[in-house]
Chains A and B, each alone.
Chain A
Amino acid sequence: MIPDLGKYAATVLSAYGASILLLVALVALSLRRGRKVRTEMEQIEQRVSRDG
């Protein structure tokens, strides 16, 4: 499946590994904070509208 990378296999795989790890972490953290903030805002809005 993985192409023959020859003597530079570790070099290429580590570059891709580090990049993909950082990109996935960035997206995951952004989505997690986004969901948390959205839920918190909706709860506060409900409370404010309920309490007048």
Chain B
Amino acid sequence: MTISTRLNALWEYANPRKFLATTERVLPVLWLLTAVTLIGGLVWGFFFTPDDFRQGSTVKIIYVHVPSAFLATSAWFMMLVTSLVWLIRRHHVSALASRAAAPIGAVMTMIALITGAIWGQPMWGTWWEWDPRLTSFLVLFLFYLGYIALWEAIEDPDTAADLTSVLCLVGSVFAVLSRYAVYFWNQGLHQGASVLRAGAVTGADTTEKVSNVYAYPLLLSMVGFFLLFVALVFYRTGTEIRARRIKALLARERVNG
């Protein structure tokens, strides 16, 4: 099978029936894998990792803070792709997937902000600082709220999809800044990347990195958060597809009297 044939096969999922049939089949396994990896990662990290010599037991916050921050920006990037698909190819499932992902991304951003503040208080001596990464995360959270509100405010779903897609393109600047601000600016309290950095993973660089005793449960926790995101997007997109069908059926009923 060539790559273009494979890509063409992907567009089959733009058909709501095909999408629902596939996700209904996949979701039970996905929920199970999510539960195993997420609970496994958090239990491993919370109960079976030692305290850090500098940060004490607060190091355990890493297992909720880093995965949620990673998903906060990843969710927006996923929304960017599905928004572009909507704008270019007008596939409704794509726009609905974007709508379904937004509250998940907002919750992940909120978790990252809350756990970051709680962690920052004893380590930095402050709950909040107008640091580049913290500020861009806060703006990203506001973009999530604006995106959700815009969907709710516009009656016509196609117009709502158009306008929210444009908002998503604009907000992508802050999603990029949220993830990569520590590379752009060296000022601020937030440390540089110590987990998702090629050199840190392979051990090729000498910059400070997360020790393996923390890295393995963190990796499992990140897989758990990622699977939770995928399962929720599949489930919530199915809900949005059904809600759209309800609107269509009711409109047809009204026309037929």
- Set B46, B51, B118, B252: member contacting A11, Cβ < 8 A: B118
Q: Is B253 an interface residue (CB 8 A)?
A: yes
- Set B42, B236, B253: member contacting A30, Cβ < 8 A: B236
- Set A3, A25, A40: member contacting B46, Cβ < 8 A: A3
Q: Is B122 an interface residue (CB 8 A)?
A: yes
A8 touches B46 (CB 8 A): no
Contacts of B173 in A (CB 8 A): none
A26 touches B104 (CB 8 A): yes
- Set B118, B238, B249: member contacting A34, Cβ < 8 A: B238
- Set B60, B64, B103, B242: member contacting A41, Cβ < 8 A: B242
Q: Is B250 an interface residue (CB 8 A)?
A: yes
- Chain A residue, CB-CB nearest to B50: A3
**Chain A interface SS verdict (over half):** helix
Closest Cβ–Cβ distance, residue A51 to chain B (whole Å): 8
B115 touches A27 (CB 8 A): no
Q: Give Cα A7 to B121, complex, Å.
A: 13
Which B residues, 213 to 257, have Cβ-Cβ distances below 8 Å to chain A? 228, 232, 235-236, 238-239, 242-243, 245-246, 249-250, 252-253
B110 touches A9 (CB 8 A): no
B246 touches A37 (CB 8 A): yes
Which B residues, 155 to 199, have Cβ-Cβ distances below 8 Å to chain A? none
Q: A30-B232, A31-B235, A38-B242 are in contact. Are A6 and B118 (CB under 8 A)?
A: no
Instruction: Give the most central of A3, A6, A33, A38: most B CB within 10 Å.
Output: A3
**Chain B interface SS verdict (over half):** helix
B232 touches A27 (CB 8 A): yes
Q: Give Cα A37 to B250, complex, Å.
A: 14
Task: Write the B39-70 contact mask toward A (1 if CB under 8 angstroms, else 0).
Answer: 00010001100010000111011001100100
A19 touches B56 (CB 8 A): no
- Chain B residue, CB-CB nearest to A42: B242
Closest Cβ–Cβ distance, residue B230 to chain A (whole Å): 13
Q: A9-B57, A30-B239 are in contact. Are A15 and B246 (CB under 8 A)?
A: no
B103 touches A48 (CB 8 A): no
- Chain A residue, CB-CB nearest to B45: A16
B107 touches A15 (CB 8 A): no
Task: Write the A15-51 contact mask toward B (1 if CB under 8 angstroms, else 0).
Answer: 1101100110111001101100110110011001000
Contacts of B238 in A (CB 8 A): 34
A7 touches B56 (CB 8 A): yes
Closest Cβ–Cβ distance, residue A9 to chain B (whole Å): 7
Contacts of B250 in A (CB 8 A): 44
Contacts of B138 in A (CB 8 A): none
Closest Cβ–Cβ distance, residue A30 to chain B (whole Å): 5
